[in-house]
Structure 1
Amino acid sequence: MKEGPDIAQIGSLIGDPARANMLTALMGGKALTATELAGTAGITLQTASSHLSKLEAGGLIGQRKQGRHRYFALAEDDVGLLLENLMGFAASRGFTRHRTGPKDPALRKARVCYNHLAGDYGVRLLDSLVAEEVITGTGDDLSLTPSGADKMTALGIDLPALAKSRRPVCRACLDWSERRSHLSGSLGQALLTLFLDKGWARREPDSRAVRFTGTGEKEFATLFPLPA
């Protein structure tokens, strides 16, 4: 008898092209309707509903109702982390979709990875935090230092609130485009929210891309300098 976690079941849920496209669309962090997800996957609404039922039963997505509408989103942070890691692994093995266009450079520069910053700016953020000893650790085992906690508090990050969350405060997430780690966890989410709230960056409509303003780029470079 085979025992242990059944990775084949998860693999089959993610491995279907239509379901993979819908999950990738939800990596933008926004809840989407079945109609929107059907359009993303290039399938009919009826087929999309069947796929969404399977993804929900598998614990990969959840739904909430608002009036007559139902919206779908990734079930939790770990699902987003799994998908980004799979994207990174696929990219490292040469399994990429050959679509080029004006959005590609923007996605590689800065994008949303479920609820935190990814791309070149996401990797630069983590590199700077490690170099400045705001964060310490290796691999996925990251933690905020006492001096780092002071810096985050000075930026207006509510660390006691982050500590109450069941999610890790700091976590490494493999970036699919840079093939290095960026910062996830509740701190990664809080920093992205800070950048958006201060107007240093904004979400591109109908895209995962994040575009920093001129002022935002200067503030980012000042607060998070790259190691020499």
Structure 2
Amino acid sequence: MNSFTLERVARATKKFVRKAIGCSCLEDYSVEKRRMMWSMVKPLEKRHIHNCKLLEDRLKMLEYMPKNAVCAEIGILRCEFSESILEITQPSKLHLIDIDPNAINIAKEKFKDKIASGQVEVHLGDSAATLMAMSDNYFDWTYVDGDHSYLGAKRDLEASRLKLKTDGLIAVNDYVYFSVSDFKKYGVLEAVNDFCINHSFEMLFLAFQGRSYNDVVLRKITSEIAI
């Protein structure tokens, strides 16, 4: 029995077992059923993308972010991107926010000198609530990479908007409809598009990623273009 046949047998066996115990996963549904499960995202208009610039990756994106700024990273995981933010943008203040104690412990160890100097501050807890506790007109920019559900991303976007300076920016990671790694639908793309439409924000940058976990940078629209 060749490897292709073995793979087919394994898939059929798993499907049979899931059906027998009343458990199903995405691959058990037909294409039509999956399409019915997830509606189309609201499309952006020309006004939302007119000034958008394509970038190679999110590290290149950081080169365009404000320097010596007050910023926040929402969702820090192992703090690898936090290091890039510090190195490339040289912020005057970087707030690192995560709901996972392990992530916060990594940040405390990795940036203990910068925490001691006051350049970095760490926050354990709900990201939207943490942002809302900050002063108004406080952030030059935020980086949203927390809860990837629609409601979670929407809360982080809204909290960021309310605490931004007038010309502030919101960068968002994982602007994608479906996660190929987690094999589940993300709500980030939907939340970002709704946010731009409802609050008149535009995309300044779209930064590519190898598995399409792309980044976007948003800014309030200040003047309308001729359509």
TM-score w.r.t. the length of structure 2 is 0.26
User: Rg: which structure is higher?
Assistant: 2
- Structure number with the bigger relative contact order (C-alpha 8 A, sep ≥ 6) is 2
- Looking at secondary structure, tell me which structure has more strand per residue: 2
- Looking at secondary structure, tell me which structure has more helix per residue: 1
